[in-house]
Amino acid sequence: MKRSDFTFLLPEHLIAQYPTPTREGSRLLCLDRKTGQCIDSRFQQLVDRLQPGDLLVFNDTRVIPARLFGTKDTGGKVEILVERVSSGQRLLAQIRASKSPKPGTDIIIGEEDRLTVEGREDDLFILSCPGTSSVMELLERHGHIPLPPYIKRQDTDLDRNRYQTVYARLPGAVAAPTAGLHFSRQIMEELDQKGIQTGFVTLHVGAGTFQPIRAESIQEHVMHKEWFSVDAKLCEQIRHTRARSGRVIAVGTTTVRSLESAAASGELQPMQAETDIFIFPGYSFRIIDGLITNFHLPESTLLMLICALAGQDNTLKAYAHAVEAEYRFFSYGDAMLIL
């Protein structure tokens, strides 16, 4: 398969720069994966389209304020985007500067805090946080919300709340699992009242989620690795759901990747590991029956995952409809329900 098989034309004004006034205020495009039929709806009506006994699985990762601005001892400006906090005092990060800092270079953050460059790990820099402060404490003091590159503005206090799900629990992500941003506490209560079960995985989304595929043949693409966890409780929930003929519906592509990675042996099992699973058309899903997701970038691995689930033709026709109907795209955009 070629990368260009997954392209579509997207007018720039459809790329959402801000969230809707309320979390559940977005639109919802419902796609039947068997027939290809699309129905325009609203996210407030999501619960009406689900059935008692369904299980919705969410990613409870929490976005950290992963973008830092600092200066080298020479005065040169530095922008740091944390990829992963590897321990209390160390992290892996992308660095943008006029000249790449060498090992031993100190980067001053704020008035007194600093990070020291220890070396490289592939394209990332290894940084340490000397002194008594932990990396997380430094990020809480000085960090900015790492908005995606297609949001052309600086982060604000609004993003501290809205670029985070209401059920976020474990800090570690540098990008939000954006399908979950539509769920308000009211929607979560409505799910419970209707008898729709909820379960959770954790996958710490890395900045690599925005990396484009550069090879024309998609089979040559190597995915970035992300840490995930699927626990025994969720495995049992899924088994019970299957036994009563309920549907397992993933909220977001990160949840799909977690579940399918934990079932790579053929049977779902509790697991904590790193995954670089790449799902594209031809993949046989083991766990999920449906998906709630946002609209993704042309030629992206996320769009390819959607095509694997709903069919490439169905998906690209649904995207063409979304463009024509002026749905809002990407992280702060509208949602899609595939059943």
The pLDDT of residue 132 is 65
Residue 250 is assigned to a structural domain of this protein: yes
Answer yes or no: do 7 and 135 share one domain: no
Residue 299 is assigned to a structural domain of this protein: yes
The pLDDT of residue 174 is 93
Residue 147 is assigned to a structural domain of this protein: no
pLDDT tens for the chain, residues 1 to 339: 999 999 999 999 999 999 999 999 999 999 999 999 999 999 999 999 999 999 999 999 999 999 999 999 888 999 999 998 887 789 999 999 999 899 999 999 998 899 999 999 988 999 999 876 789 999 999 999 999 999 999 999 999 999 999 999 999 999 999 999 999 999 999 999 999 999 999 999 988 777 889 999 999 999 988 999 999 999 999 999 999 999 999 999 999 999 999 999 999 999 999 999 999 999 999 999 999 999 999 999 999 999 999 999 999 999 999 999 999 999 999 999 999
Answer yes or no: do 128 and 51 share one domain: no
Residue 82 is assigned to a structural domain of this protein: yes
Answer yes or no: do 91 and 210 share one domain: no
What is the domain-level CATH number for residue 212?
3.40.1780.10
Answer yes or no: do 318 and 179 share one domain: yes
Count of structural domains, the chain: 2
Residue 107 is assigned to a structural domain of this protein: yes
Amino acid at 119: G
Residue 294 structural domain? 3-63+159-338
Residue 301 is assigned to a structural domain of this protein: yes
Answer yes or no: do 24 and 75 share one domain: no
Answer yes or no: do 130 and 276 share one domain: no
Count CB atoms within 10 A of the CB of residue 96.
11
Task: State whether the Cα torsion 241-243-245-249 is positive or negative.
Answer: positive
Answer yes or no: do 23 and 165 share one domain: yes
Q: How far apart are CA 150 and CA 212, in angstroms?
A: 13
Answer yes or no: do 58 and 179 share one domain: yes
Q: Model-level pTM?
A: 0.95
Residue 88 is assigned to a structural domain of this protein: yes
Answer yes or no: do 44 and 84 share one domain: no
Domain boundary among 86, 109, 142: 142
Instruction: Supply the Cα-derived Rg of the chain in whole angstroms.
Output: 20
Q: String of b and e for 259-287 (b: at least 16 CB within 10 Å)?
A: bbbbbeeeebeebeeebebbbbbeeebeb
Cα 176 to chain center, whole Å?
Answer: 5
What is the domain-level CATH number for residue 111?
2.40.10.240
The pLDDT of residue 208 is 78
Q: How far apart are CA 45 and CA 151, in angstroms?
A: 28
**CA–CA distance from 329 to each of 177, 213, 306, 309 (Å)?**
14, 19, 15, 19
CA angle 200, 204, 210 (to 5 degrees): 120
Answer yes or no: do 58 and 72 share one domain: no
Answer yes or no: do 39 and 71 share one domain: no
The pLDDT of residue 289 is 97
Amino acid at 72: K
Domain boundary among 117, 142, 167: 142
Residue 153 is assigned to a structural domain of this protein: no
The pLDDT of residue 55 is 98
Helix (H, G, I), strand (E, B) or coil at 44: helix
Answer yes or no: do 164 and 311 share one domain: yes
Q: Kind of pairing, strands 248-251 and 290-294?
A: parallel
